[in-house]
Amino acid sequence: FLSLVAEFCCGFFVILILGNFWFLAVLYLLWLYLDWETPCAGGRRSQWVRSWTVWKYFREYFPIHLIKTSELNPKHNYLLGFHPHGVLVAGAFGNFCTDPPFKNLFPGLTPYLHIMPIWFSCPFFREYIMSAGMVSASKESVSHVLSNEGGGHASVIVIGGAEESLNAHPGSLTLNILKRKGFIKMALKHGAHLVPVFSFGENELFKQVANPKGSWLRNVQEKLQKIMGFALPLFHARGVFQYSFGLIPYRQPIHTVVGSPIPVKQNLNPTTEEIDQLHALYLQKLKKLFEEHKSNYGIPAHRSLIFE
């Protein structure tokens, strides 16, 4: 969905350049230059955009639900680790970039969904995603959000990143997380409490072409991911008027469960050992969250998370 909107915005920008409105394109390029750092400085959210009626229908299509398991004190800042990435990341967008799901359950907290910086280089599209509450996933951006004095900010990071989308097959429970410790270091440096979030149903929205590790397709996808910074999963779902083939996601319920916070004491210079200890604790809490709720959302008792 984001890719389609981005392509439309880029196409519109090209039309401005080639048409009789090139001067508007020049003015926008000037604006882009002056506004380049905004995605790393909290963005520019719009309550009007986040409250569009279309998002209500978007959430109801699947439907998307946000599940609260514990209170989050707005006097603190939080780093929410979102799992899994899936293909669409629908749960993250529906719950943290539209109102009122998060606002109603966690009053006093402002969520910021961190996404790849490359999206903010797309003309016009960057204005739209910032208005929805999305900001850059750069270190500077995360630091800006978590440095808010008095608390009340929640950084939402899809920990598995683009690489994990290649594992987004129906029924898959594989998470790319063992080597991802940067978010742990950021939480320690800012004293932000860690909160594991698991979105049940996220991997059920599309069917992806078989790409087991070691296959020629997976090797090509991984090489392209390293070059471009984002993955290219080959997926399909349903069409507009039929369910056999298309790019519209299947209507599968998504239940995004927000776990209990892990208190983190600020440590400006954490050691490798301290980072590893907190990372291990986070994995333990994430696995516990999954095990406690998996029976509610159709996961067989013998299935468990796989950490890679």
Annotate 22-48 with DSSP letters as a single string.
HHHHHHHHHHHHHTTTGGGTT----HH
Write down the domain spans for the chain: 1-35, 39-307
Distances (CA, A) of 242 to 67, 146, 239, 253: 31, 45, 5, 19
| CA dist., res. 85 & res. 87, Å (int) | 7
58 phi, psi to nearest 5 deg: -60, -45
Q: 200: part of which helix (H) or strand (E)?
A: strand 193-200
Query: Could you give the 3-state DSSP secondary structure of residue 64?
Result: strand
Segment 65-96, tens digit of pLDDT: 999 999 999 999 999 999 999 998 999 999 99
CATH 3.40.1130 fits 39-307, yes or no: yes
Distance between first and last Cα of the chain: 28
Residues 98-132: tens digit of each pLDDT:
999 999 999 999 999 999 998 898 888 899 999 99
* Secondary structure, 3-state, 131-163: HCCEEECCHHHHHHHHCCCCCCEEEEEECCHHH
User: What does the alpha-carbon distance between residue 25 and residue 22 come to, in Å, rounded to a whole number?
Assistant: 5
The pTM of this model reads 0.92
Q: What is the pLDDT of residues 247-272, one digit of tens each?
A: 899 999 999 999 999 999 999 999 99
